[in-house]
Structures are given as structure tokens and as C-alpha cells.
Structure 1
């Protein structure tokens, strides 16, 4: 994906206000939760708003942050659902022995079966608390499909080739043909 290096990476999402002085709760997507503020100012997905960010503490699995220019509870609450992005250049390089990519790199890649079947494109990588899920937009249209992002279901990620090789469990795509490796 030629422009993959320039795509900003989402480091967290505002889940709501914290207190009355403009602090926000942020669900971090960084390996270390506090690192959500470690890469400098954050921006909204469209890049129209930028905030200096500072961590103020933790509340369960959320990071309490101050965003520059947000001074009261109403302004903080209005940011609920806002994804916070940083330019990829600010993030550490991935190690050769690690995955070598960020979740943001997967969005838009083709989802191809181990047998070459085209299933669609990766629409998002989700995590609702029980592990990463690939959200796949089916090739023929229709509702997206969620599939556990495990080594068994996703034997290969080929960023350079523009694809993710999948072996979906039987019935994932609503037909009995999926799940080639489930014999």
C-alpha cells in the first residue's frame, strides 16, 4: 500500500468527560495505556482539530487526560466518541521479530481465503474486550462480518501484497463453503 507509511494511527478514543474541569476519559489503543500521550499532540480523524494531550491518571482501563483547549465538562462530554490520531512518523518502528505493522495498516486490505477465495476488504480492527476482531466488508456488499483475529483464522498478513490471508471458521460468511481448514 504505497501510502501506508503516511496514514495516521489511532492511539485512543474519548469515552466521556471526567469531573467538571474538562478532563476526558480515553480508551487507549497503545501497548502501554499511558503512552496515549507519549507521541505529542493528537488530532481528530479529519485532522481539523488538534490537541496537546497530557495524562493525569488512570480509572480502571481508561486513561484520564487533559486536552488543550477543553476547559469544562460540557466541552469534554462533546468529544465522546472522538478518535485521537498521531502521525505514523511519531510512533516507534516495529521490530523485525514482531508483527511489523499497526492495526491501521490492515484497513482496506483484501481478505483472501487460503484457497484464493476473495471475501472482501478489512473495514476495521475492533476490540470489545475479548480480543481483536477483523471487521470484513463482504465482496458482494451487505453487512460487515466480524471474525476473531487469531493465528488460526489469519495465518498471514501481507501488507506489501495488499492482503490478509484468512481461514474463516465454518459459517462465518453465512455459507458452508467458508472454513476450508475446518475439516
Structure 2
């Protein structure tokens, strides 16, 4: 089950990895329901039964089943990102880039196949919300959402990435308030998503 909460953002960058990968709860913790998360950030989360994708010994069938899932949701391009020190080229550099606050021109949709991680997003009041995703959680960040990503203390996640068109890997670091995706996002935020 997904948990989301406001984080203690009193520590200033650069943060060491152990701090980035901790819960960073406020005292006392301030959780958000999934409905509050959607209304305050535009983020939606769906639970997907991923057991059928890894209990089959035929790897091609797994990829075929994942492709069917993506197609049923209207996504046309997919890939898998295996974030582990031994399996991801330029691991440290990529984690630093993922943790830099940024936005994209397209929605960011990720399904957790294995492991767990954190997505941090800014809410409509510019506060950081930490979303802890685990196996079977499919997260959808709207285009224009300021966000960042890091592993949790387990140091591993395998993500199925879904795209509405051929992926554009461009990211725009904050501030990018004049970017068309951000302008559209803020327009939607005013209306309550």
C-alpha cells in the first residue's frame, strides 16, 4: 500500500544518501490520503497485480504481458529501468540526476515490479510530499509536476516505465515555471486537478 506524507525539509542540500533515503517525517508525521494526494499534487496511484509478470519462466511472455498492460492504458512505448549499483550504468550519477528537482513535458508513469523507492513531489502550496512506492504500485505524475526520485534504505527498485509516445528524456530543472507543461499543470491545479 502506498503511503504519502509531508517531509521535513529543514535540512539544506547537499544531503548525504542516508538522509535522502530516510522517511524524513515531520514531528508529528503528517500523512496524506490518496485522494488528498491527487487533489494537492495531481498524482494518481493504481495498484497492479504484478505477480503474473514474474511467475512465468518465459521472459518473452512477461514482456508481452507488460506490453498488454501498457496498451490497455493507452501507452505506446515501454521499457524497464533496473536501479541497482550492479545493474545500472553510471549508477551514482543517475541517482544524483534523478534527485535533482525537475519536471518533464510528458506524464511520468512508473510501475514498481520489484523493490521500493521514493518519489517526492511539490504540492500546490510548494511543500514537499514523499510518496513511498512498492511492488505493484503504478504512479502517474502529470507533465509539469516538480519532482525528484531516490531509492529508499533497501537500495533497489525495478521500474516498468510507460510512455504515451516515444519517450523524450528531457528534464527541466527548477525553476522552469514558464515551461508550457508547468503552465498547464498550474492551470489544472487551480481547478483542483
The TM-score bracket by the shorter chain reads under 0.3
Instruction: Give the structure, 1 or 2, with the largest relative contact order (CA under 8 Å, sep 6 or more).
Output: 2
Larger radius of gyration: 1
- TM-score under structure 1 length normalisation: 0.28
Q: Which has the higher strand share?
A: 1
- TM-score under structure 2 length normalisation: 0.27
Q: Which has the higher helix share?
A: 2
